[in-house]
Amino acid sequence: MLPVERRKQIVTWLNQEGALSISEISKRLNVSEMTVYRDIKPLLEEKKIIKTSGGISLTPITNDFLNACTYCLKESNNRHPVQIILNDLRVEQLCCPHCGLLRYKDIEKDVSQIICRDFLSHSTVSARMAYYLMDADFNLSCCQPQVLTFESLKHAEQFQKGFGGNIRRFQEAVEEIQKRMNGEHDCTCHK
Ligand SMILES: [Zn+2]
Ligand SMILES: [Zn+2]
């Protein structure tokens, strides 16, 4: 693995797990702790990560940034945000899977990771591996057409039993939401 790849991997873990110790990172990457320190130096200098008592974590995002969706610009305290990590390690916050998928489509080539949350367990899951439920009879109070994300087909089907809707995989969901938006940027949430 090249240093740049290791850096990307470290940021991905931090996004998923919050914080990590240097020794844990060195173990996972199978490199020395010195190498880990060298790898994360640029991240520290650019203030993408901070040192904590136990190791390192991502720099806490300010409230302004957390609340504004990169795609629809709506302020949101929705509990189902999507994060996109770009190849240059910048992180974008999207208010809901609807905006996450549309934003992904716009900048596909620059996307390193796209992370969403399981609707039921709230655990983080790679959006590329997630299952998407559309047209369910449940209002998330965010953008329409609404998309719900699930980490497993089982969760999606359990929810579908109660609330209906259609289950899709990542690419299908991206295409479907794009088709329905018909190239328009304006989701109904957009004020
Ligand atoms: Zn949005
Ligand atoms: Zn939204």
CB burial of residue 78 (10 Å; 0-12, 13-18, 19+): buried
Q: What is the CA radius of gyration of the chain?
A: 18
Interval between CA 44 and ligand 2 midpoint (Å): 31
Q: Which CATH topology does 3-58 take? A: Arc Repressor Mutant, subunit A (1.10.10)
Q: Does 185 score more than 50 pLDDT?
A: yes
Per-domain residue ranges of the chain? 3-58, 63-181
Interval between CA 50 and ligand 2 midpoint (Å): 29
Banded model confidence at residue 129, pLDDT cuts 50, 70, 90: very high
Interval between CA 159 and ligand 1 midpoint (Å): 23
Model pTM score: 0.68
For residue 96, the ligand closest to its alpha carbon is 2
The per-residue pLDDT for 80 is 86
pLDDT average, residue stretch 75-99? 86
Interval between CA 71 and ligand 1 midpoint (Å): 5
